[in-house]
A = this chain, B = another copy of it.
Amino acid sequence: MNEYTFDEIEVGMSASFKKLITKEMEDSFRMITGDENPLHKDDSFALEMSKGKFKGHVAFGMLTASLYSTVAGMYLPGKYSLIHSFDEISFMKPVFVGDELNIYAEVIDKDVALKMIRLKIVIKNQENKKVSRAKMKVLVTK
């Protein structure tokens, strides 16, 4: 876990990590949210509703987005972080169990008055295709 203080962070700093999406993660996310939508467990429903575009059931978009928590809490800034808000979260392509996601985050702004940093984050799958992107504001508490 990084422990950057606000003064140590500079615009342009970046971090990246990988995460394998597993069935256990899907099951846990379903338990947390109570979201029983068949798109996220029924392969034939996902195939039908996407008119053949999705090869099977799709991981929850917000499961992918939960990795934005990891960006702030573990990497930028790490220990002294408190997520303030997102200007945007977008989902561009479906994520499936077995996908290995690559999360890349970069500091694009520093607000000295609020001790807040702004991050641009891109998540790609193992085929180097963007599956999600976000702009996140994080307060740095030290």
Contacts and interface: CB of A to CB of B under 8 A. Distances in A.
A87 B88 CA distance: 5
Interface string A59-82: 011110111111011100011111
Contact of A70 (B33, B72, B86): B33
- Kindly state the interface size class of chain A when it binds its partner: 35 or more
A36 to B, nearest CB: 6
14 contacts: A25-B31, A28-B31, A32-B66, A34-B74, A36-B73, A37-B79, A39-B73, A50-B141, A60-B66, A62-B68, A83-B91, A85-B88, A86-B86, A88-B88
Interface of A: 1, 19, 24-25, 28-29, 31-40, 49-50, 60-63, 65-70, 72-74, 78-91, 141-142
